[in-house]
Structure 1
Amino acid sequence: MTPAAAFDPTRVAHLTGRFAPVTEEVDAVDLEVTGELPDELDGVYLRNGPNPRFTPIGSYLYPLDGDGMIHGVWLSARRARYRNRFVRTPSMIAEESAGRALWGGLQSMILPGAEEVGDVLAHTFKPLPDINVVQHAGRLLALAESDCPFRMSPGLDTLGKETFDGQLPAGITAHPKIDPVTGEMAVFCYGLEPPYLTWAVIGPDGVLRQGPTAVEGIAEPQMIHDMALTRRHVVLVLAPAFFDIEAAMSGGSFVAWRPERGTRIALIPRDGGPVGWADDEAFWLWHTVNAYEDPDDGRVILDYVQWPALTLGPGSPDGRPRESGHHGLTRAVIDPAAGTVARTRLDDARVELPRIDDRLLTGPHQRLAVAADSGRVGGLLPGEYDALRRYDIRGTGVAAQSWNAGALSVGEPVFAPVPGTRGGERGYWLTFATDRTDNTSWFLVLPAEDFAQGPVARVRIPVRVPLGLHGTWLPTEE
C-alpha cells in the first residue's frame, strides 16, 4: 500500500496546466463563434476525460485515474451551446458528502472503510467511467477502462450503473465497436480473476446476443485497452502488459511489461467459432484505427498506433511522466491460416487518438485523422499534441495533410459526416483545444475536404476544458 502522506499531487504533471481538473459545472448558450459554423452540423459533440472531483490522495495515474466529466457542445442553426457534468458514481457522491477524496488512485490501493462510506461501498474499488462516451440502443454510456459503464441522460445527468439488464455484471472496456451494417455492439472485458478475458455482442435493441464468452488460453490477467472489429472477427491485441498486484501493494507499478513474452493477436469469430492466434514480437497499442478482411485471401488488415512498450507512472523525481519511445501509424496484416503477422510503419510522425468515419468500421477505410506532434514545440506532456494530421491511404501509398495548431494543444479528432453523404467523403473533424498561453479553450471545426486550411469555425468555450480522451458526434435524429 502507498501511504497517502508519501503522495504529493502538486508534483504530478497531469494534474497541472492544460490537464488540471475543473470542478465547476457550467451551462452556457449563444457561444462566441469565430468563422462560421456549417449549417449541416446539427447535433451534439460529447467528450469524456479524467477530472478528479477532489484533490487525489495516494497516487494519480493518467490516463486511467480520475473521475469522469463529460463536456458537450450542442450545434444547431449555426449556433452553439455548452454544458459539462460529472459522471456521478456512488463513490463520488460519498466523497462529495465528505468534502474530500476518500479513495486513492489505482496504484495506492487506498479503500475507505464502512465508518467513512457505509457497508455497501466499504473496501470496494472506485468506478472510473472517465475514458469514453458512446451511444448504443438509445443509451448514452460513460465508459471506464474495464468496469460497468454509467448511463447518462441526454442532458448529461447520471442515471446509474449500466449492466445491460444484468447480462454483463462485470462490465465492458472503454472501446466497444459498433458494426454500422448490423447495428451490433461488440465489447470485451478483462479482469484480475478468471475468466481473465471475455467478449460479448449486444444487439441494436440493447439485448445481449452472444456471451459473455471466455477467451480460452489466457492464464493470467493482462491489460488490453482497445479492440477492432471486422465483419467476421473480434480482434484483440494482447501485449505483454501483465497485472502485478503484489508490486502494487508494495508501492510499485501494478502493470509489468514483459517483452520476452511477445504480443499475441486473437481473431475471435463473431459466430462463436474457435479463436485463431497470431504471434509477434512485443509491442503495445493504446488505440486501433479499424480492421477488415481482405476479400481475396481472408487476411485481416489492422491499422493502429504502435508503441514499443507500455509505460505507466512518473519517470523522474519531478513527477513528469515518461513515454515508452516513438509511436506512429502502423499496419498489421494478420494471416489466420499461418498464425503470422507482417507489420509496416505507415508514418513516422508522433501521433495518437486515431479516428475514422464510424460508418466505415469493419470495412475498408481510406481516410483517418489523428492528434499529432508538429515537432515545433518542446515541453509537451505525454498525451498532449499541437497538430492534427489526416491520412489518405490507397493501396501501399499514404498521403498526409497536417494542420499545425500553433499555441493550441488539441485533442482527439471526431468525424461528423454531412447528412446523406457516403462514408468519409464529406464532413468535418471536431475537437477541443486549449491555448497554452492563456488556458482558454475552444471547440474547433475542420473541413474534411481541405484539412490543412484549419478550422472553418472556432467556438469559444466559457471555461477551460482539460485535455482529455475520447468523444463522439451524435447528429440530431430527424
Structure 2
Amino acid sequence: MNALPKPYLSGHYTPVLDETSATGLPVRGTIPPELEGRYIRNGHNPKPGVVPTHWFRGSGMLHGVRLSGGRAEWYRNRWVHTPAFTDDAPLFRADGSMDLAASAAATHIIEFGGRLLALQEVNLPWQVSPELDTVGVFDFNGGLKTPMTAHTKEDPITGELHFLCYSPFPPHLIYYTASPAGHITRAEVIEGAGPSLMHDFAITTDHVIFFDLPVTFNPAEQSGIPYRWNDNYPARMGVMPRTGPAEVQWFDVEPGALLHSTNAHIDAGGRVIVDGPRYDRTAWESTWKWWVGAPGYSTVPGTGMTAYRWTLDPATGKASEEITDDLVTEFPTIDNRLVGLPNRHSYALAFPGSGRTDWAIVKYDNGTGARKVFDLGRDRLPGEPYFVPAEGGTADDHGYLMSVVSDLGSNSSELLILDASELREVAAVQLPRRVPAGIHGSWIPDTDLA
C-alpha cells in the first residue's frame, strides 16, 4: 500500500483494509475515571482497490474507543455503509438529480439530540449506533431536503443546532437551525451569497457569520471537487442577526481561505471577533496539490496556514485583520461550552513549517498571547485535539485533550489523552492497529446517549 501514487493513500494516510473490534485495550498512564463515554473519529478510507481522485472522495470510516471506569473497554472501526459505499452509487443520478443519501459520510461525526450523525457536506447526514453500526440516513424527520454541511454549531445556551447548505447553483446558501428533538426550526435563503466553498461558518450569541471567500465553483476542476482559487472573486464575510429577517451585512476582507473557524464572539465594543487558520493563495494551492496528488505536491498536507483574527465592526461597516501566530496550524478547537462566547484558550494541530520539523499539538492563551507546544517526536502525527471538560472545572482549559496519534515508526496508533491546562500526557490507549490519519472527531459522554 505504501507504493500507491497518491499522498492521501500512503504513509500516515494508508487505508486499513477491514473492519475489526478489540476489547480490554492496554493503557499507559491512568485514564481519568470521569471519562465515561466514546471518542469517535471520522476520516476517509477508500475500499480496497479504490483510488479516489481527491482525498475528500474516500469512503468514511469511523474509529471508536469506549472508556469507562478508568478502562479502555473496546476499539471498533466501521465504514459508514451508505449507498456510495455499498453500491458505488453516484451523487448525481442519470437524470441529473442528486441522490442526497449517496454520501461518503467521511468528514465529521457529531452527537445531537442523542443521535450520532456522520457528516459530509454535499449530502444528508447518516445516523450510526453507539457501536458504530450504520442505522440509516437522517433527514430531521423529513424537514431537510438539501445537503447539510459537515461543520455545525450547537449553541451552548439554547441547545439548538446551526448548520448550512451551500451550493454552486442558486440558491447558493441556506441557513438552518434545528431543535434537539430533530426538527428544522428555521430555514433561510441567504440572498447575495455566491458560489464559494463554505466549509465552515461561525456564530456569536447574536449573529451568524458566513465566509464568502475566493475559492469558488469551477467545473474545469477535474479532481471531483469542482472548486478553485479565484483571483477575481471579492473576499467577504457576512454578519447576520440570529433573530429577525435574514439581512446580511457584508464586510470586505483580504483575499484568503478559511476551512475551519476557531470561534467567534462579540467584544465589549459590539464588534464581531472571528478567529481561525487562514490560507493565502500559495498555501491553498499547495494544500490542494496534496489533496489531489498533483505533480509537485508538498509531502506535508496544508502548508502555510497561520492563526488569524478578523474584527468586523457593524457600526462602521469596516473590517480589520491580523496574524495572531506564525505557526502553521489547522483543526482548531475550543471548549464547546463557549461556542459563540469569549474563550480564553484554544487548541490546534501544528504542522511542520515555520522552523518546525515535526507535528505537534499547540495551545493558545488569548489573554496573554502565549502559546504552549506538546511535541510528539519524529514520525508521529496527531489528529485534531478534541477538548473534554473536567468535572468541576472552573476555566476553559480545565479538562482533557483527546487525539488519535499515528506512529509510522512502530506502525501503531494510540488514543492520547492530555491534561489541557498543563499540556502533559495523562494516559494513552494502545489501539490494536495503526489508524490512518483522519479529519474530525467527537467525545460523546454516555449521558448524551441516555
Q: TM-score, normalised by structure 2?
A: 0.90
Could you tell me which residue of structure 1 aligns to residue 405 of structure 2? 433
Equivalent position to 1:230, from 191, 197, 204: 204
For 2:297 and 2:277, locate their aligned partners in 1 and report how far apart those are by CA, in whole Å: 26
Are 1:262 and 1:283, in contact at CA under 8 Å, matched by a contact in 2?
no
Are 1:374 and 1:404, in contact at CA under 8 Å, matched by a contact in 2?
no
Matches within 5 A, 1:64-75: 64-75=56-67
Could you tell me which residue of structure 1 aligns to residue 25 of structure 2? 31
1:217 equivalent to 2:192? Answer yes
Q: Identity over the aligned pairs, expressed in percent?
A: 35
Off by >6 Å, runs of 4+ in structure 1: 119-125, 321-324
Deviation at 1:112, TM superposition (A): 8.7
For 2:38 and 2:434, locate their aligned partners in 1 and report how far apart those are by CA, in whole Å: 19
Deviation at 1:89, TM superposition (A): 0.3
Equivalent position to 1:16, from 4, 10, 20: 10
1:463 equivalent to 2:433? Answer yes
Deviation at 1:425, TM superposition (A): 3.9
In structure 2, the CA distance between the partners of 1:323 and 1:90, relative to structure 1 (3 Å rule), is closer
Deviation at 1:151, TM superposition (A): 0.8
Question: Cα deviations across residues 285-317 of structure 1 (Å, max 9, x unaligned)?
Answer: 1111110112x3221011111110333244653
Matches within 5 A, 1:329-408: 329-373=307-351, 375=353, 386-394=359-367, 397-407=368-378, 408=380
Deviation at 1:377, TM superposition (A): 6.6
Question: Cα deviations across residues 342-371 of structure 1 (Å, max 9, x unaligned)?
Answer: 112111001110000101111100111111
Are 1:360 and 1:423, in contact at CA under 8 Å, matched by a contact in 2?
no
In structure 2, the CA distance between the partners of 1:148 and 1:288, relative to structure 1 (3 Å rule), is same
Are 1:18 and 1:467, in contact at CA under 8 Å, matched by a contact in 2?
yes
Could you tell me which residue of structure 1 aligns to residue 81 of structure 2? 88
Deviation at 1:126, TM superposition (A): 4.2
Deviation at 1:257, TM superposition (A): 1.0
Matches within 5 A, 1:74-223: 74-80=66-72, 81-95=74-88, 126-211=102-187, 213-218=188-193, 220-223=194-197
Q: Is the partner of 1:359 in helix, strand or coil?
A: helix
For 2:296 and 2:230, locate their aligned partners in 1 and report how far apart those are by CA, in whole Å: 26
Could you tell me which residue of structure 1 aligns to residue 53 of structure 2? 60
Deviation at 1:145, TM superposition (A): 2.5
Deviation at 1:125, TM superposition (A): 9.1
Residue type of the partner of 1:257?
Answer: W
Q: How many residues align?
A: 436
Deviation at 1:436, TM superposition (A): 2.3
Residue type of the partner of 2:215?
Answer: A
Equivalent position to 2:217, from 243, 254, 262: 243
Q: Is the partner of 1:156 in helix, strand or coil?
A: coil
In structure 2, the CA distance between the partners of 1:398 and 1:67, relative to structure 1 (3 Å rule), is same
Question: Cα deviations across residues 205-248 of structure 1 (Å, max 9, x unaligned)?
Answer: 2221111x111013x42111111111111111111111112x14
For 1:350 and 1:361, locate their aligned partners in 2 and report how far apart those are by CA, in whole Å: 23
Unaligned runs of 5+ in 1: 1-8, 96-101, 114-118, 379-384
Could you tell me which residue of structure 2 aligns to residue 421 of structure 1? 393
Deviates further, 302-311 or 181-190: 302-311
Are 2:5 and 2:293, in contact at CA under 8 Å, matched by a contact in 1?
no
Are 2:38 and 2:66, in contact at CA under 8 Å, matched by a contact in 1?
yes
Are 1:242 and 1:258, in contact at CA under 8 Å, matched by a contact in 2?
yes
For 2:138 and 2:128, locate their aligned partners in 1 and report how far apart those are by CA, in whole Å: 10
Question: Cα deviations across residues 407-439 of structure 1 (Å, max 9, x unaligned)?
Answer: 311110001111233451421100000112132
Question: Cα deviations across residues 318-359 of structure 1 (Å, max 9, x unaligned)?
Answer: 765786752111111111232221112111001110000101
For 1:464 and 1:416, locate their aligned partners in 2 and report how far apart those are by CA, in whole Å: 24
Q: Is the partner of 2:258 in helix, strand or coil?
A: strand
Q: Is the partner of 2:12 in helix, strand or coil?
A: helix
Deviation at 1:193, TM superposition (A): 2.1
Deviation at 1:204, TM superposition (A): 2.3
For 1:74 and 1:121, locate their aligned partners in 2 and report how far apart those are by CA, in whole Å: 40
For 1:31 and 1:300, locate their aligned partners in 2 and report how far apart those are by CA, in whole Å: 45
Q: Is the partner of 2:136 in helix, strand or coil?
A: strand
Q: Is the partner of 2:347 in helix, strand or coil?
A: strand
Equivalent position to 1:42, from 7, 11, 36: 36
Deviates further, 177-186 or 259-268: 259-268
Unaligned runs of 5+ in 2: none
Are 2:127 and 2:135, in contact at CA under 8 Å, matched by a contact in 1?
yes
Question: Cα deviations across residues 186-211 of structure 1 (Å, max 9, x unaligned)?
Answer: 00011132111110111222221111
Equivalent position to 1:285, from 258, 261, 267: 258
Are 1:163 and 1:171, in contact at CA under 8 Å, matched by a contact in 2?
no
Are 1:127 and 1:147, in contact at CA under 8 Å, matched by a contact in 2?
yes
For 2:144 and 2:411, locate their aligned partners in 1 and report how far apart those are by CA, in whole Å: 40
For 1:71 and 1:287, locate their aligned partners in 2 and report how far apart those are by CA, in whole Å: 22
Equivalent position to 2:276, from 304, 327, 345: 304
In structure 2, the CA distance between the partners of 1:167 and 1:11, relative to structure 1 (3 Å rule), is same
1:475 equivalent to 2:450? Answer no
Residue type of the partner of 2:87?
Answer: A
In structure 2, the CA distance between the partners of 1:201 and 1:347, relative to structure 1 (3 Å rule), is same
Residue type of the partner of 1:202?
Answer: A
